[in-house]
């Protein structure tokens, strides 16, 4: 068979036309299971939302979504694992915003660069995280708790170094010259176990995670450290309503779904749309209601803007407290 210049050009042109089709087929996402690394133990808000929203993503895409709990170092271990993962949309991180914001000034080294190594796909408000006291503590509001802490040994639980709970307790120490000891855990679940055992006098966290203790009467909410009252506790005054007007007494933050920074924009956009839609799915709605969450997740572009605001707001608070990095 004689190959002419014309037939060679035709063959080359045919391959060129087919190439984009092949590339598109290879780029189809998702084409295999997606792993979401949760950098805290099972049982808390971060894990619960990841599982419920992940269930919707699985239903919508036809691909399995696996939840891999990797707690440790206040979330740094799991975050670093995702930061080093291939940027192909198959390994994602679900974390609290403090891992990406507070941790940079709470630790000497993180094992990753939050700004350079990760991009945030979506942000889900963590809602109102009430401050509660053990039933043995005779305080019904924040002022009474401060007075109690003046003359009694008080431990305050925090799910991570530099968390909102940590900042809240340290601000109480700074403002009122108290000696509250902040006890750091690898997530909410073990914190609430100690709270139920009476090892902690106070803690802050999600209503659903503390629900068993509330039902048993082992703990008592004393303040909503937020801009609005909690739907679960409509009679619980906010910090401002109780006269605590410093910014640090009003918690601000969200749960971050993130990916390695070089993840293709179209995958980030698709996953962002799926995560936002997950809040309206049956599993997502039940989880949101269970944790008392009312705000819909922020899409990629919105959460990236809020990320800059959060850094500018929270980091100066921590620096002002003079907490020594670990």
Residues in the chain: 326
**Has residue 19 been placed in a domain?**
no
The helix (run of H) or strand (run of E) holding residue 251 is none
Together in a domain, 36 and 175: no
| Domain range enclosing 307 | 32-126+253-321
Together in a domain, 58 and 108: yes
The mean pLDDT value of the chain amounts to 89
DSSP-assigned states of every residue in 82-148: HHTS-SSSSEEEEEEHHHHTTHHHH-S--SS-HHHHEEEEEEEE-----EEEETTS--SSHHHHHHH
Choose the final residue of a domain: 211, 227, 249: 249
Choose the final residue of a domain: 249, 278, 297: 249
| CATH code at position 179 | 3.40.190.10
Together in a domain, 189 and 286: no
Together in a domain, 173 and 235: yes
Together in a domain, 50 and 119: yes
Highest mean pLDDT among 161-170, 217-226, 282-291: 217-226
pLDDT at 27 (0 to 100)? 58
Residues 6+ apart with CB under 8 A from 270: 29
Rounded average pLDDT over 209-221: 95
Rounded average pLDDT over 10-31: 55
**Has residue 47 been placed in a domain?**
yes
Contact indicator for 156, 163 with CB cutoff of 8 Å: no
**Has residue 65 been placed in a domain?**
yes
| CATH code at position 86 | 3.40.190.150
Together in a domain, 171 and 118: no
Full-model pTM: 0.74
Burial environment of residue 204 by CB neighbours within 10 A (0 to 12, 13 to 18, 19 or more): buried
Choose the final residue of a domain: 249, 270, 295: 249
**Has residue 55 been placed in a domain?**
yes
Rounded average pLDDT over 85-108: 94
**Has residue 4 been placed in a domain?**
no
Together in a domain, 122 and 202: no
How many whole angstroms from its chain centre is CA 132? 20
SS3 304: helix
pLDDT tens digits, residue range 155-186?
A: 999 988 888 899 899 999 999 999 999 999 98
* Separation CA 123–CA 5 (nearest Å): 57
Together in a domain, 120 and 229: no
Peptide bond into 129 cis (omega under 30): no
**Has residue 12 been placed in a domain?**
no
Together in a domain, 122 and 270: yes
Rounded average pLDDT over 230-238: 90
Rounded average pLDDT over 190-202: 95
Together in a domain, 295 and 220: no
**Has residue 151 been placed in a domain?**
yes
**Has residue 236 been placed in a domain?**
yes
Together in a domain, 98 and 164: no
* Separation CA 297–CA 292 (nearest Å): 14
For the chain, how many structural domains are there in total? 2
Burial environment of residue 155 by CB neighbours within 10 A (0 to 12, 13 to 18, 19 or more): middle
Together in a domain, 150 and 114: no
């Amino acid at each position: 068979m004689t190959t002419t210049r014309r037939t060679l050009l035709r063959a080359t042109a045919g391959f060129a036309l087919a190439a984009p089709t092949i590339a598109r087929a290879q780029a189809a996402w998702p084409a295999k299971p997606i792993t979401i690394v949760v950098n805290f133990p099972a049982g808390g808000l971060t894990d619960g939302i990841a599982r419920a929203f992940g269930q919707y993503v699985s239903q919508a895409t036809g691909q399995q979504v696996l939840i891999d709990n990797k707690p440790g170092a206040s979330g740094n271990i799991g975050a670093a694992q995702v930061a080093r993962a291939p940027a192909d949309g198959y390994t994602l991180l679900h974390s609290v915003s403090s891992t990406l914001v507070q941790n940079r000034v709470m630790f000497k080294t993180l094992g990753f660069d939050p700004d350079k190594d990760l991009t945030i796909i979506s942000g889900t408000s963590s809602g109102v995280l009430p401050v509660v006291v053990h039933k043995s503590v005779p305080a019904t509001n924040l002022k009474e708790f401060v007075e109690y802490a003046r003359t009694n040994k008080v431990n305050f639980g925090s799910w991570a170094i530099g968390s909102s709970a940590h900042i809240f307790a340290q601000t109480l120490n700074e403002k009122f010259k108290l000696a509250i000891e902040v006890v750091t855990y690898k997530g909410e679940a073990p914190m609430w176990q100690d709270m139920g055992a009476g090892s902690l006098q106070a803690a802050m966290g999600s209503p659903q995670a503390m629900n068993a203790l509330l039902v048993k009467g082992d703990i008592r909410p004393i303040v909503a450290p937020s801009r609005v009252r909690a739907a679960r506790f409509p009679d619980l005054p906010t910090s401002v309503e109780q006269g605590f007007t410093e910014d640090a007494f009003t918690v601000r933050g969200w749960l971050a779904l993130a990916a390695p920074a070089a993840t293709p924009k179209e995958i980030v956009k698709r996953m962002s749309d799926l995560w936002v839609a997950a809040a309206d799915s049956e599993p997502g709605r039940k989880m949101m209601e269970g944790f008392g969450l009312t705000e819909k997740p922020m899409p990629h572009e919105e959460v990236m803007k809020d990320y800059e605001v959060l850094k500018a707001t929270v980091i100066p608070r921590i620096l002002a407290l003079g907490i020594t990095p670990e």
